[in-house]
């Protein structure tokens, strides 16, 4: 069996174009969706990601502003700035780039963002709505996974989805989304994590595997059953004889998995590009809710 490659880059471009067309249809230069991003400190990876978000917003016709703040900003100052954005009518989505410096309580920051502007989908209010199957802002990466499954017409009803990892950003949300009784879920879901002595027996049962463990090429061919759908969320740098001195790999040994999987997301070019695309979609949704469109 040779797996079908799930092209996240191409799918993300489709979603972004759909957002651009809808933004152009329902808004104008003086009244359009707005996203504010707060970047604290000078983490290189965060800076690259934030720049990518800004460029994507521009192409989609979404107003965006990035507020760069020093790493020594106080928690009180950051919370005050979030409050200002909560009350700014031209801003419909607020995103505070994580991680934050250790002296700032991330959960307090997340909860300070208005649920109506929480386009990251991390506020407990929106997490609760997701849990009970109500419309909400879904975290961008899990939403991107669901979008890929939907667009590639991969059946999820009654399928056993095994999620490796229990983070609040990927593992827990995707498990909750896949268990919902709807057309893009209705799955049987198992979450496996570091407390398991051996995850292989669980992984071997997966019809759909979501790997979000952060360990390079951790999942090997012998752990997978024939015909599994592999969704690899991992982004890991490993040393390599390349100009950069490294290469990027996922949590799944890609070349091995190709031999047994029916569908597979590559790394890079799989789930990653979908994250910003779904963030744009959430920002558009926030604008529509705010303006009653």
Catalytically active residues are: 53, 97, 120
Half-sphere exposure of 190 (CA within 13 A, CB side): 18
Distance CA 201, CA 222 (A): 11
Q: Dihedral sign, CA of 40, 44, 45, 50?
A: positive
Radius of gyration of the chain from Cα atoms? 19
- 160: how many CB neighbours lie within 10 A of its CB? 16
Distant-in-sequence, close-in-space partners of 158: CB < 8 Å, separation ≥ 6? 186, 187, 188
Residue 236 per-residue DSSP state? E
Residue 73, classed as helix, strand or coil, is coil
Distance CA 246, CA 15 (A): 30
Residue 217 per-residue DSSP state? T
Residue 67, H or E segment: strand 63-69
Q: What is the DSSP string of 239-254?
A: E-SSTTSEEEE-SB-H
Half-sphere exposure of 5 (CA within 13 A, CB side): 11
Task: Choose among 155, 173, 175: nearest CA to 163.
Answer: 175
């Amino acid at each position: 069996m040779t797996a079908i490659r799930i092209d996240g880059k191409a799918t993300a471009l489709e979603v972004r174009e759909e957002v651009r067309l809808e933004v152009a249809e329902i808004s104008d230069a003086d009244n359009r969706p707005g996203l504010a991003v707060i970047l604290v400190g000078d983490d290189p990876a965060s800076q690259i990601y934030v720049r990518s978000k800004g460029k994507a917003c521009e192409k989609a016709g979404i107003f965006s502003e990035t507020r760069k703040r020093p790493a020594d900003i106080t928690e009180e100052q950051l919370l005050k700035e979030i409050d200002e954005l909560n009350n700014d009518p031209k801003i419909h989505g607020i995103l505070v780039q994580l991680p934050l410096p250790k002296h700032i309580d991330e959960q307090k920051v997340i909860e300070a963002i208005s649920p109506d502007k929480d386009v990251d989908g991390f506020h407990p209010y929106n997490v609760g709505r997701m849990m009970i199957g109500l419309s909400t802002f879904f975290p961008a990466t899990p939403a991107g996974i669901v979008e890929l499954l939907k667009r590639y017409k991969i059946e999820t009803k009654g399928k056993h989805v095994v999620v490796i990892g229990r983070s609040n950003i990927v593992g827990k949300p995707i498990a909750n989304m896949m268990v919902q009784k709807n057309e893009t879920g209705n799955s049987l879901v198992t979450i496996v994590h570091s407390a398991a002595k051996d995850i292989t027996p669980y992984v071997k049962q997966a019809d759909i595997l979501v790997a979000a463990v952060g360990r390079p090429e951790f999942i090997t061919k012998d752990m997978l059953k024939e015909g599994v759908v592999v969704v690899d969320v991992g982004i890991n740098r490993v040393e390599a004889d390349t100009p950069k001195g490294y290469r990027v790999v996922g949590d799944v040994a890609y070349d091995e998995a190709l031999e047994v999987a029916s569908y597979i997301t590559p790394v890079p070019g799989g789930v990653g590009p979908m994250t910003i695309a779904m963030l744009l979609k959430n920002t558009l949704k926030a604008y529509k809710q705010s303006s009653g469109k």
